Structure 1
């Protein structure tokens, strides 16, 4: 019950973090498609995608369980 209340209270922040997570996954997918034209570009997109996924998972965990409002 407490987890449900925490999610309802922080819904707008969680939606933004989930959109950021989806964009990070899209960066990784695009990095595989761009690999044939530009290796350096695909490397940067992959690195930024992984960093974005880690940051969004960090944000999700701390927002839901510890109650931080950014």
Structure 2
């Protein structure tokens, strides 16, 4: 089943649910989204040196030591 068809079927199913069941669906979708986000975060943290590079980038950003997209566009 294609993604678009699956979404359409899910929408039809959701539209027929009672308000109580909609709350259950909403909670489950929030759980899935959080889990996916956590998995992505854990994957990034497994990259050697990622956390150090991320912290360094945050400090550079806070100090204003960044190149804006506009500056990059002009340069390249």
Which TM-score applies when normalising by structure 2?
Answer: 0.39
Structure with greater helix percent? 1
Which TM-score applies when normalising by structure 1?
Answer: 0.42
